[in-house]
Amino acid sequence: MASGTFTCQKALDRQFPALGSLDCPARAYSFVDSQMTRLKELSRQLSSVARMKSNFISGIDHHSALPSDNLALVILGNLDTLLDNILNMKSSIESSFWKFLDKSPEEAKTLLNCLVNETRSCPETFWKTLPNISFHDFSTLGPGRWLNDEVINHFIEKWCRQKRNTLGFSTFFAGVCLFQDKTSCLQAKSTLTPQDEDRIRRFVKRRQEMLLLNSWDSVFIPIHEASSHWYSVRIDFKLKRIDIFDSLRETCLVNRQKPLPLRKNTKLMLVLMWLTEILGSIRGENVCLSNNPQSSWICDPHCEVPFQPNAFDCGVHMLWHLKHVLEYRTITLGKQSRADNLSFSRDMAGKRFRLAQELLQDLKV
């Protein structure tokens, strides 16, 4: 089998040579995009091999052994190995290009501008694959732009549906259920009324159905403050934590030095504690946080996260918070995230390009 793997890899290396010079970002992207398209098509064609092999093995029991049976098993095994190698190569090429984008933000911005400009002339029918996404929405992924609700909602819904353990709310939930001012999300509610609880239960029911969730043990809530800044909340019933993630350095560092009653997010945290009790009830779990200093839950109103160096990358940071929540259940700052391309970078232009590329792929499905 090791020899077969080596032979498959050599054949792939000949067909898919390594990425050469990256001096020309546009040419490098064109090369990578071509390689990825071919590898994706090959993996699609081989995706049924495992099922074919399983069916073949099951069928052997129902007929007399034939000399060709062993040969067929070898061929199916080699095809299975080839598929593994193709997927590994696809991941390796993708990873190398992502690292290049993170290390070369100016090149990433050039590519991103090209991508946005190319889609500007796409016909209206191109955008109909995703009903809530238009060119205007897509263009907010461009350099120096604030991500809008539609883009944020698309990725929350898609990623949470894929992961199947996190109840990711839309950007409208916080304003309706947690704040007095529905549009600006500046003043947290002083209490949650029975009417609020009914509204929350309806939100949860609809969201569970939309995300195809049978169960969940984590909750992600995006918050759009004054329509100019994104931050988020994570409630984890497995880790027993409520964390507020905000990538603005001043908000985090200044408030962490203040007494708890004076911190910016203290009132919001109180509402989140009530919300957690309601969500626990929906899960069939008794959670008591109100006036309960003995609770084992940890509540951090200003959790430490990587900071944005500008005024416009908050939305990208927030989506990366979600990626970390889904992958690690928390924000990972160390070597683990750097190893698998989920690290935060000082300039998130490369991450913007990845999001734009993913959104375009979703539109083409």
Express each pLDDT in 66-103 by its tens digit.
778 788 888 888 888 888 888 888 888 888 888 888 88
Q: Alpha-carbon distance 16 to 34, whole Å? A: 10
CA dist 245 and 233 (Å) reads 6
pLDDT of residue 164: 94
Question: In angstroms, rounded to a whole number, what is the distance separating the alpha carbons of residues 30 and 38?
Answer: 12
| CA–CA separation, 292 and 270 (whole Å) | 12
CA 352 remoteness from chain centre: 12
Element (H, E) at 49: helix 49-60
Give the pLDDT confidence score for residue 131 in this predicted structure.
87
Q: Which residues contact 89 (CB under 8 A, 6 or more apart)?
A: 12, 16, 39
Query: Given this model, what pLDDT does residue 340 score?
Result: 65
Instruction: Decide if 307 contacts 248 (C-beta within 8 A).
Output: yes
Distances (CA, A) of 251 to 231, 245, 305: 11, 10, 11
Let me know: does 304 contact 252? Beta carbons within 8 Å. Answer: yes
Query: How many helices (H) and strands (E) would you count in the chain?
Result: 14, 5
241-245/229-236 β-pairing: antiparallel
> What is the rounded distance in angstroms from the CA atom of residue 313 to the CA atom of residue 262?
27
What is the pLDDT at residue 9? 76
Which residue type sits at 176?
A: V
CA dist 309 and 20 (Å) reads 32
Taking 70 as the pLDDT cut, the residues of the chain under it are 1-6, 18-26, 334-340, 365
Q: What DSSP state is assigned to residue 240?
A: T
Q: What is the pLDDT of residue 85?
A: 86
> Has domain 140-349 been given CATH number 3.40.50.450?
no
The CA-atom distances, in angstroms, between 162 and each of 130, 157, 326 are: 17, 9, 10
The residues facing 223 across adjacent strands are 231
> Which secondary-structure segment (H or E) carries 202?
helix 194-211
pLDDT for the residue 208:
98
Confirm if 306 and 342 have CB atoms less than 8 A apart.
no
